[in-house]
Structure 1
């Protein structure tokens, strides 16, 4: 999987979960059920964390400037903007090329290991996102304090 494909997949997933959350909010506001917000919100929260992790991973590989990273992060809090960010990043060549597995240091070794063993890396990433998500659930939803 190329940096472009990984980033696009998670950007689209993030936009889909935005749609689920918004649909859940509409259903709740109509007095039908709050279940849609719980499900859509949970899925969106999980995929949001995954998007941020993938953004950082891909940004490091592609050597994005801090402003590009910041715009990518901002796109994750605006409904459907991750897809727009992905299209603009692709158009500007920010997602071109493959994985840089020759970088020195721990980051380079981490990336090389992830590329060499993608299933293991995906399982580790899934576990890390799950732990972060679980901690966030324990802390509580936004505005619950």
Structure 2
């Protein structure tokens, strides 16, 4: 199976929404049924990883498909609202913004000569290395976030 921008974006958008459901169920178990911290301590990092993977995917696909900045920003921000990634994915699909394969060749568009587009094309033509870089980025960001603790505690120890 060939991993197109459409397939990748759809899969990660769905995973992000599913992990929202897991996190909300875990919070219900913890606060509604006194299940303790375990459900949230498992579902929280799983959702956090899916959230970050979706945000990175939205950024990469938005750059590759040449979405307007506003569309890319809305796509990334959709991860903040529970389940919003699925209708967002459907919307960009209906508008044809996920059509085609990866843009691995430069065109006459001056934007294709920017360092960001050149780097993206290089990474897309080296998928194994690109995957390693994305996984490493996710690992570093997740490690920092896990060290910071739950978002509700950020800044609680300041001052």
TM (norm. structure 2) is: 0.84
Comparing 52-61 with 100-109, which one deviates more in the overlay?
100-109
Q: 2:26 aligns with which of 21, 24, 40?
A: 24
1:44 to partner: Cα distance: 0.7
1:50 to partner: Cα distance: 1.2
5+ residue gaps in structure 1? Answer: none
Distance in 1 (CA, whole Å) between partners of 2:119 and 2:69 is 21
8 A Cα contact 1:100 1:108, kept in partner: no
8 A Cα contact 2:29 2:35, kept in partner: yes
Q: CA RMSD in A?
A: 1.4
Residue 115 of structure 1 pairs with residue 124 of structure 2: yes
Distance in 2 (CA, whole Å) between partners of 1:63 and 1:131 is 27
Give the count of matched residue pairs.
145
- Paired position in structure 2 for 1:141: 150
* Aligned ranges 1:8-47 → 2 under 5 Å: 8-29=10-31, 30-47=33-50
- Paired position in structure 2 for 1:79: 82
* Aligned ranges 1:91-130 → 2 under 5 Å: 91-101=94-104, 102=106, 103-130=112-139
- Paired position in structure 2 for 1:88: 91
1:91-124: CA deviation from partner (whole Å, max 9, x where unpaired): 0111111211223243233222322222221121
5+ residue gaps in structure 2? Answer: 107-111
8 A Cα contact 1:28 1:37, kept in partner: yes
- Structure 1 runs, 4 residues or longer, greater than 4 Å off: none
